[in-house]
């Protein structure tokens, strides 16, 4: 069992992804210690989460997707476990150094990365959370400000809304569930 787990972790680039998450979180934490603005701290926490989620994307698909599909093992539980554990590790590491709605953002961004892997492949999956995050940072009210604007704006900028904003949390949870279920059942999409 231990040999299988070691081979799985190495084949899915988990050590490299973990090193990336630790390094990015530490660097962004250090940057946050040099800045006194709490809104910037929230942005840095979001960027740490985004970096961690992006680092997991390549490992959500094997070197040969066709081989994964034909393997005589049950992939859906393994895929779901991989996503859940990746999210838990990212949440744990980021909450050590940052505050804010980290769990909500990890849930939603992991769901987006999983949807990306299932639809456009692991190599391009990072586009969904990166584009959505850039959009949210550009068009949302400042981090930590009360939710403003029409309801659809709060939903579209869920990751930069205050932690107690129910529509933002519901959006993140729905993205997390949709991504986890789609990726777990379908697996990685074909490469283009």
DSSP string, 31-64: HHHT---HHHHHHHHHHHHHHHHHHHGGGGS-S-
Give the mean model confidence (pLDDT) for residues 11-21: 86
As for how many domains the chain has, the answer is 1
pLDDT top residue among 77 and 38? 77
Distance CA 185, CA 36 (A): 45
178 pLDDT higher than 60: yes
Percent of the chain with pLDDT over 70: 89
Distance CA 60, CA 44 (A): 25
In a domain, 191, yes or no: no
Give the mean model confidence (pLDDT) for residues 30-40: 86
Distance CA 118, CA 23 (A): 27
145 pLDDT higher than 70: no
pLDDT band at residue 147 under the 50/70/90 scheme: low
Distance CA 29, CA 33 (A): 6
- H-helix or E-strand containing 106? helix 102-120
Reported pTM: 0.88
Query: Which residue range forms the structural domain that includes residue 179?
Result: 2-186
* Relative orientation angle of helices 166-186 and 102-120, to the nearest 10 degrees: 40
> What pLDDT sits at residue 39?
76
């Amino acid at each position: 069992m231990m040999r299988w787990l070691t081979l799985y972790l190495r084949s899915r680039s988990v050590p490299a992804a973990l090193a990336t998450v630790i390094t990015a979180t530490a660097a962004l934490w250090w940057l946050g210690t040099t800045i006194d603005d709490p809104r910037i701290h929230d942005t840095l926490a979001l960027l740490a989460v985004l970096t961690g989620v992006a680092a997991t994307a390549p490992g959500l698909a094997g070197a040969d997707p066709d081989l994964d599909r034909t393997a005589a093992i049950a992939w859906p539980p393994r895929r779901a476990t991989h996503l859940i554990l990746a999210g838990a590790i990212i949440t744990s590491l980021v909450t050590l150094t940052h505050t804010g709605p980290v769990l909500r953002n990890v849930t939603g961004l992991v769901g987006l990365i999983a949807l990306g892997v299932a639809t456009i492949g692991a190599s391009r999956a990072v586009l969904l959370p990166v584009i959505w995050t850039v959009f949210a940072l550009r068009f949302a009210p400042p981090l930590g400000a009360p939710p403003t604007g029409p309801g659809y704006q709060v939903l579209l900028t869920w990751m930069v809304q205050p932690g107690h904003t129910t529509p933002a949390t519901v959006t993140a949870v729905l993205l997390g569930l949709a991504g986890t279920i789609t990726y777990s059942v379908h697996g990685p999409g074909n490469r283009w």
